[in-house]
Amino acid sequence: MVNEAKDVIWPAPSLIRAARALAGIDQSELASVAGVSRKAVVTLENDSGTEMDYRRLEVLRKVQAALEMEFGIEFLHRGRAGMGVRFRSPG
């Protein structure tokens, strides 16, 4: 079933992969912290589509939350420098 609302895919799967690398964790550890399967993380990171069904969006949200809350990652929207990831500034 395709998400009829056509939610924006944010962050992009490529940013999930970059954030995981920045955090220094593997797919298994991210999956465990996010409460999803390793296969779900692999599938998410390899997704290059412009739409996701509601199940994959749910995985994306869980993985994003884990990276932000547990590993201090910040996802950057497009700006002058483009999209990216960084560690959240203390403060």
| Token reading at 25 | 């964790």
Question: Where do we find the tokens 């749910």?
Answer: 58
> In the predicted model, is pLDDT for residue 3 greater than 50?
no
User: What is the domain range of residue 26?
Assistant: 13-87
Asked whether residue 75 is domain-assigned, the answer is yes
Q: What is the pTM of this model?
A: 0.86
pLDDT tens for each residue of 51-75:
888 999 999 999 999 999 999 999 9
Asked whether residue 5 is domain-assigned, the answer is no
Number of domains the chain contains: 1
Question: Where do we find the tokens 């298994």?
Answer: 28
> In the predicted model, is pLDDT for residue 32 greater than 60?
yes
CA distances from 59 to 36, 55, 79, 80 (A): 7, 6, 26, 29
Asked whether residue 19 is domain-assigned, the answer is yes
